Structure 1
Amino acid sequence: MPQPGSAHHVERQQQPAADERLAYEPPETVADPAEKGLIADPHEEAPWRIVEGEHSHGPRQTDVDPRAAKRAERQVAALFALSALATVGFVLAYVLIDLDSINSLVWSNRLLGVALALALFCIGAGAIHWAKKLMGDDEYVQSRHELRSTAEEREDFVDSFRRGTDDSGFTRRSLIRRSLVGAMALLPINAVILLWDLAEEKPGGPGGGLRETLWAPGVPIVTAVTGEHVRPEDLSIGALVNAEPENLEEIPEGPPRLNALADSAIILVRMEPAEIVSQQGADWDYQGILAFSKICTHVGCPISLYEQETHHLLCPCHQSTYDLADSARVVFGPAARSLPQLAITVDEGGYLVARQDFAALVGPSTWEPP
């Protein structure tokens, strides 16, 4: 609240304070504010007025010195130009850095974050500097009144908007206008680049798309960590085995292999064939052995907490629960769809192999095709 001696201070017309300080008493609360005139008529004189102090509001340096105004204009344009360069740097960092190691992945994230932060910061800093140094610096006071505007006030608003446009110098200062338009035009590219990762089909990575994994007809199933081939007799009733495709070893180590494993990791469970209520495809089991994706369809956590009696599989992250005897449908928790099932059989040597790739999307949901 303004104090005496400042550019402006407010005093009540009906009861001016003796020491010229602000004397404010909150109005008495009443059932009908209009009863005591608390809702002012916009056409009546306002109950408050502005009193000029000893030190009136003075002009800025950019208001009186054309060179200072030109210097401020160049500074604003430079900030907008820097924002545009940061956007270009974001795109280059995204496209040119190969994510072939953990170190390159870390640097990619750092450069993307710095470039995006710089692009957004320079837009904001340029707008603030523009407003403080070059836009109109007049102070306007409007008395409080009822919220509904009159026709005259609407006309005043249009006039004020036009004056504000003129005061901002947007139409006159072409350097600022062009640099701002350029920076704002490039800024959405950051979002487009990031949203590209949500596309269902895009080049790169094993299989080339989110719906394709390392599984294919005849790909042998091997145990995780040890890499041993699995025979049906190796699994007893109620057993659960973590497994993966044998061709995972063909993928280079580092992020490419980790990404491929995240898409292709499975669990094998065995139950009595008579206990199987339904499957996601006809005869996708082999002698009661079922294979499902190990990745939760909620947020992608790995799952292996199996309850033999109920055939329920529990995700440890958010407690999504799947009934493996009934097409791995969701029986509890936030997951919205079943775990994808992998159709399996045995090869000539009697080892478990895949009959095809997953028929459903592995992991958290993305945009589905029509």
Structure 2
Amino acid sequence: MAHEEDALEHERASWKPSAGLAVAVPDPVQNPGLPPHRHRVTDQDPAAMTRAVRTVYTLFYLSLAGSIWAVAAYMLFPIESGRIIDIRHNNLFIGLGIGLALLAIGLGAIHWSKAIMSDKEFIEPRHATRGRDTTREAAVQAFRDANEESGFGRRTAIRGSLIAALVASIVPGITLFRGLAPHNSEAKPMAGDPVALLSHTMWKEGERLAHDPSGEPIRAADLTLGSAVHVIPESLADLSHHDGYLEEKAKAIVLLMRLLPEQLVEEEDRKDWSYDGIVAYSKVCTHVGCPVALYEQQTHHLLCPCHQSQFDVERGAAVIFGPAARPLPQLPITVDAEGYLVARSDFTEPVGPSFWERH
């Protein structure tokens, strides 16, 4: 059987068509060419072209107005005032201005390309690029042709408005960097100064730790092993929203946990910062300030849900994963004569993300 198959395969390989027999060869695929060009309304009607040009540069000038409004909103609603209404208006109107600026540029560029620029189809033959003089001349000529077809060089209204809109669109972003500069005010010496704002919170010696949001003080004996409690200063309840309640709470929020005392690995100068295995750390993530509110009871890890930074509670909230650059600040605590947990002092370092002036 194997011999017969080999013979058959050899016969197939050696077969050639006899004289007089035609072998059909398929024709190559023919180039269908370009479809007939469809003229646009603006190609046939000069009035329509004029309207299209007017629409494009109007959109570009609208973008310019949006950029100017974003800068004006930054000045009209200063976040340094500390008022919630100003902060909200600042974010809202700056965002609307920047959004309008970018949207108008995009719409203007799209309308320009669809209604004004040349839309004739053409074939560009491919060849090896060798960097010869003729190649350079052809490249220059291609730019000239593109300029002529787009009308960028001829249509000064579009060119001027586009350049003005593009330049102005950068200004709001540059203006926002002003908020990073230190700012001092006679009325509010701490306003805008991150060193002063973030180095001091409502925690002070003897300040009781209270449940968030009820404000009920916490006894050390009431904390069970493995528990995690959201904590605020007891005196925070005395503040109203007009007195900076939200701002002070945002800096002073704390997460309180209880472990076995022997599980804590503490530095010598911090051995009295905990009480019977109870430790308190700032809830403000040191990455970008999100609330660190997830506690893994078995591993004793704190997790920031925003960017997955993880902190080891047993080892001073040291960073073990994620983009956070430093441990969570620890609040020194003890108990008072009635058994309530109290702060020994304020945080010994600024809370929240890192910033330029932080040492």
Q: TM-score, normalised by structure 2?
A: 0.66
| 1:214 and 2:204 correspond | no
- Displacement, 1:337? 3.7
| 1:285 and 2:269 correspond | no
| 1:265 and 2:269 correspond | no
User: 2:228–2:255: 8 Å Cα contact kept in structure 1?
Assistant: yes
User: 2:52–2:116: 8 Å Cα contact kept in structure 1?
Assistant: yes
RMSD after superposition:
4.6
Encode CA deviations 1:80-135: one digit per residue, 9 max, x unaligned. Answer: 11111122333444554589569984x76665554433322211222233334444
Question: In the alignment, residue 86 of structure 1 is paired with which amino acid?
Answer: G
Question: In the alignment, residue 251 of structure 2 is paired with which amino acid?
Answer: D
Quick one: distance in 1 between partners of 2:44 and 2:348?
Answer: 69
| 1:276 and 2:258 correspond | no
- Displacement, 1:141? 2.1
Segment of structure 1 superposing worse, 81-90 or 133-142: 133-142
User: 2:203–2:343: 8 Å Cα contact kept in structure 1?
Assistant: no
| 1:227 and 2:215 correspond | yes
Q: Which runs of 5+ in 1 are unaligned?
A: 1-22, 27-47
Superposition map of 1:107-122 within 5 A: 111-122=93-104
Encode CA deviations 1:157-187: one digit per residue, 9 max, x unaligned. Answer: 1121123234434344332222222211111
Q: Which runs of 5+ in 2 are unaligned?
A: 1-26
Superposition map of 1:102-181 within 5 A: 105=88, 111-136=93-118, 139-146=121-128, 150-181=132-163
| 1:86 and 2:86 correspond | no
| Overall identity of the aligned pairs, in % | 33
Quick one: distance in 2 between partners of 1:369 and 1:152?
Answer: 59
Tell me the equivalent position of 1:248: 236
Helix, strand or coil for the counterpart of 1:342? coil
Quick one: distance in 2 between partners of 1:235 and 1:207?
Answer: 38
Tell me the equivalent position of 1:3: none
User: 1:215–1:358: 8 Å Cα contact kept in structure 2?
Assistant: no
Superposition map of 1:60-79 within 5 A: 61=42, 65=46, 69-79=49-59
Q: 1:241 to 1:174 in 2, by over 3 A?
A: same
Tell me the equivalent position of 1:359: 349
User: 1:267–1:291: 8 Å Cα contact kept in structure 2?
Assistant: yes
Encode CA deviations 1:350-370: one digit per residue, 9 max, x unaligned. Answer: 8612423351542x5666858
Quick one: distance in 1 between partners of 2:164 and 2:268?
Answer: 52
Encode CA deviations 1:237-257: one digit per residue, 9 max, x unaligned. Answer: 665443212443455428953
**Which one of 313, 325, 345 corresponds to residue 314 of structure 2?**
325
Q: 1:302 to 1:316 in 2, by over 3 A?
A: closer
Quick one: distance in 1 between partners of 2:245 and 2:191?
Answer: 9
**Which one of 318, 336, 343 corresponds to residue 332 of structure 2?**
343
Q: Which structure dedicates a bigger proportion of its chain to helix?
A: 2
Encode CA deviations 1:239-288: one digit per residue, 9 max, x unaligned. Answer: 54432124434554289534432332112345565543224954451544
Superposition map of 1:49-68 within 5 A: 61=42, 65=46
User: 1:83–1:122: 8 Å Cα contact kept in structure 2?
Assistant: yes
Quick one: distance in 1 between partners of 2:192 and 2:210?
Answer: 22
Helix, strand or coil for the counterpart of 1:226? coil
- Displacement, 1:196? 6.4
Quick one: distance in 2 between partners of 1:208 and 1:348?
Answer: 38
**Which one of 270, 292, 295 corresponds to residue 305 of structure 1?**
295
